[in-house]
Copies of this chain bind each other. A is one copy, B any other.
Amino acid sequence: MRIGSNLRTEKDRAVLRIRAKVLSASREWFDQHGYVEVHGPTIIPVVGDCSSFFEIKYFNSKAFLTQGLQPYAHYFVSSLEKIYTIAPTFRAEKVNTRRHLTEYWRIEVAQNCEFDTIVKVEEALLAYICQSLSKENVELFSCFKRSVKDLSKIQTPFPKLTYDDAVDMLQRDGFNIVWGQKLSWELEHHLSLQFNSPFFIAKFPLGVETFFHKSDPDRSELTLSADLLAPEGYGELGSSAQRITEKKVMSKKMTEENIDPADKNWYLNFMQSRAFPHSGFAIGLERLMQWICKLSNIKEATAFPRLHDCIYP
């Protein structure tokens, strides 16, 4: 049993201090740009495939632990226009890598805008966080292989690939991938090694993304979605998308995905039919910390990491 090992060394303390600074820089940026902080529910019902959700005994019924603001985001956006939340997120996945926690914190944004805008918001926020950290005392980073100078170089606009570009690059470099396939960790990792700035992969094919994402009006086989990746081999930090706002389109998608009619019914009742566009993104705080501090294992990015095989201490 690992006993509180993440709080003993100077490095452990530095991680926690940098983590707090990432949070305060984020909130500073949100304040400056008129975003309102909100809290969605942690305990939720799940629509569709619930295999990656943790199940809770909720008195005589069952409930699940959240994986993000969907489908609550559009309610907040319709009331407050631009919102963010910083909250814990849960994935019941038995993955044994150096980049998976079962409990992590996400920085999530939703607002009344089109896809192109949300990508710009995401990169502006991340660049601001890096610029803020670069002004910190050099000593704070002395335990890590990251220098404040590296962080000062992170500026917008970030490089942008399409999913098509990514598949081309990977095929050219000898990887066995066909169009329409999900990008595995190994493929992402290879792409990530080609960059020294965070970058985007945009417009994933329909099958790869969830039913919340709007189709690209120019090419209906694509979605208005993008993953944000860290450079230097660290891979995915977050993802963004424009959401479907038309009930008819959502209803059709849910039928295609074989969503249970009762689930579909409450979801569509809950969904507002509003004409305004609505987009959002989420960045994983521990993944961001892992890249910023060049941590070899994501466990080091939080004081009491939760892994599929351990909930202690």
Contact = CB atoms under 8 A, between A and B. Distances in A.
Give the dominant DSSP class at A's interface. mixed
A41 interface: yes
A120 interface: no
A55 interface: yes
Interface stretch (A72-80, A155-163, A209-217): A72-80
A57 interface: yes
B7 A75 contact: yes
Nearest to A74: B4
Interface stretch (A30-38, A177-185, A247-255): A30-38
A193 interface: no
Interface stretch (A145-153, A198-206, A229-237, A300-308): A300-308
A141 B16 CA distance: 37
Q: How many copies does the complex hold?
A: 2
B43 A4 contact: no
A75 B308 CA distance: 23
Contacts of A44: 311
Contact of A88 (B45, B87, B306): B87
A79 B58 CA distance: 36
20 contacts: A1-B266, A7-B76, A7-B78, A13-B79, A16-B38, A17-B36, A19-B37, A19-B38, A20-B37, A20-B38, A39-B105, A39-B302, A40-B303, A41-B306, A42-B90, A43-B54, A45-B313, A55-B57, A56-B65, A63-B311
Interface of A: 1, 3-4, 7-8, 12-13, 16-17, 19-20, 23-24, 27, 31, 36-45, 54-59, 61, 63, 65, 71-72, 75-76, 78-80, 87-88, 90, 92, 94, 102-103, 105, 266, 269-270, 272, 302-304, 306, 308-309, 311-313
